[in-house]
């Protein structure tokens, strides 16, 4: 099968979705399919190959289409996305007409891209990454035209059926996955800390990922204030990292590392004593519609996990595989972290259960489950 993923973000880049697309296509390639990614040619994109940038097992064919990128022009930032997306759609239209193979299966998380490809008669799997809001009639029209709708949580599927009258058989639920061999590091905690130039002694609490408020990072920063740990925040872009650091400048035991290449993330997870995923329940995306890649990677690492007790995380992490705390409760989070650090035997046993579960959550298994439906 010829599989193409169309995205509008810079590629390759540090963006989580760009990484996600690479992992998805790598899995399809491993299963023997021809894969490619179609992206706009934008300023600031990394010139490395996707395989080298993300440490993939396979090459991903890359097609960059002409685009007018205005994101770097002062005063144009409010219109930049609309402008470069419009020019990209124009390029994509002619690319598909002139060059694309007739039997290609397209994946995309861009509603306008899905709509245009479906209008051209292409078989499209529309991945609902950000839950739709506004323009209900347009979304419904797109849902009707595409071949399948791919979601990453059961709750998102329920909400689409209820709010947009999408037929159940058309929706595929596929949670994210993990490269278990990569994240099941054989290094000791001490070796991992040496590789990362971290203190050999002391207790490390780790959060990885973006620094958006709905991910609960501010609450985690406050929760570790004054307790005997060093909390590392690994991820986020430079702008968000600087803002987060400035906001919590009075908390001496937090360290904002910033973006890290994905190939080094297993070292960070191995170096930590506790991994935290503190999603807020005040945001529907956080509570119901996200399937964070970090959670799967946490599970594969064998390091104890503390997670917010929300639908989106409960779908993956099961009882006895980690520690659940009430969301948006700073005191409960602080207490749980301290208890986990004091219960080495119990926390290790739960981490082992999570690790065993992660063995079945591979990207290739996910790809196979999708192909069973769409072929």
Q: How far apart are CA 122 and CA 336, in angstroms?
A: 50
DSSP state of 184: S
Give the pLDDT confidence of 320-375 residue by residue, as tens digits.
999 999 999 999 999 999 999 999 899 999 999 999 999 999 999 999 999 999 98
Domain boundaries, the chain: 2-173, 180-358
pLDDT along the chain (375 residues), means of 10: 92 87 95 94 80 86 88 71 88 89 91 94 94 84 96 94 93 96 91 96 96 96 97 93 95 95 94 98 93 97 98 96 98 98 95 97 97 93
Domain 180-358 is found in CATH 2.40.50.140: no
- Top-level CATH class of 2-173? alpha beta
pLDDT, tens digit (0-9, with 9 covering 90-100), for 10-54: 888 888 889 999 999 999 999 999 999 999 988 777 778 888 888
Answer whether 2-173 and 180-358 agree in fold.
yes
Q: Please answer whether residues 321 and 298 qualify as being in contact, where contact means their C-beta atoms are separated by less than 8 angstroms.
A: no
Q: Exposed (0-12), middle (13-18) or buried (19+): which is 280, by Cβ within 10 Å?
A: buried
CA distance 17 to 128: 12
Q: Where do we find the tokens 């059961």? A: 154
Q: What is the average pLDDT value for the chain, to the nearest integer?
A: 93
Residue 164: both structure tokens together = 């947009």
Residue listed under structure tokens 């890359």: 62
Q: Count other C-beta atoms under 10 Å from residue 241's C-beta.
A: 17
- Whether the model clears a pTM of 0.85, i.e. scores above it, the answer is yes
What secondary structure letter does DSSP report for 170? G
Question: Could you give the CA distance from residue 273 to residue 199 in angstroms, rounded to a whole number?
Answer: 13
d(CA 120, CA 208): 40
Give the Cβ contact number of residue 31 at 10 Å: 14
Strand order in the sheet with 254-258: 254-258, 230-234, 204-208, 274-277, 305-308, 323-325
């Amino acid at each position: 099968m010829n599989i193409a993923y169309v995205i509008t973000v810079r590629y390759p880049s540090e963006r989580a979705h760009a990484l996600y697309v690479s992992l998805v296509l790598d899995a399809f390639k491993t299963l023997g399919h021809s894969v490619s990614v179609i992206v706009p040619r934008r300023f600031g994109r990394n010139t490395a190959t996707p395989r080298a940038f993300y440490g993939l097992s396979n090459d991903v064919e890359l097609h960059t289409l002409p685009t007018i990128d205005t994101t770097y022009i002062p005063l144009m930032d409010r219109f930049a996305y609309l402008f470069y997306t419009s020019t990209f759609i124009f390029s994509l239209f002619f690319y598909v007409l002139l060059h694309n193979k007739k039997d290609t299966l397209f994946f995309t998380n861009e509603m306008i891209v899905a709509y245009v490809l479906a209008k051209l008669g292409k078989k499209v799997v529309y991945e609902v990454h950000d839950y739709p809001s506004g323009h209900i009639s347009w979304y419904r029209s797109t849902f009707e035209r595409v071949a399948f709708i791919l979601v990453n949580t059961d709750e998102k599927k329920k909400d689409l059926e209820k709010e947009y009258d999408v037929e159940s058989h058309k929706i595929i639920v596929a949670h994210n996955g993990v490269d278990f061999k990569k994240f099941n590091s054989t290094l000791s905690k001490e070796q991992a800390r040496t590789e990362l130039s971290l203190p050999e002694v002391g207790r490390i609490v780790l959060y990885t990922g973006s620094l958006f408020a709905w991910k609960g990072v501010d609450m985690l920063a406050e929760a570790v204030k004054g307790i005997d740990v060093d909390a590392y925040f690994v991820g986020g872009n430079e702008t968000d990292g600087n803002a987060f650091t400035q906001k919590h400048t009075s908390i001496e035991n937090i360290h904002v590392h910033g973006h890290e290449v994905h190939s080094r993330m297993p070292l960070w997870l191995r170096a930590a004593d506790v991994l935290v995923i503190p999603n807020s329940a005040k945001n529907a995306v956080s509570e119901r519609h996200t399937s964070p890649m970090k959670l799967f990677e946490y599970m594969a690492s064998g390091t104890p996990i503390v997670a917010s007790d929300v639908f989106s995380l409960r779908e993956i992490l099961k009882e006895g595989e980690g520690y659940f705390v009430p969301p948006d409760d700073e005191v409960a989070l602080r207490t749980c972290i301290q208890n986990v650090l004091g219960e080495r035997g119990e926390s290790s046993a739960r981490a082992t259960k999570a690790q065993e579960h992660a063995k079945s959550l591979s990207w290739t298994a996910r790809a196979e489950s999708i192909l069973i439906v769409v072929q």
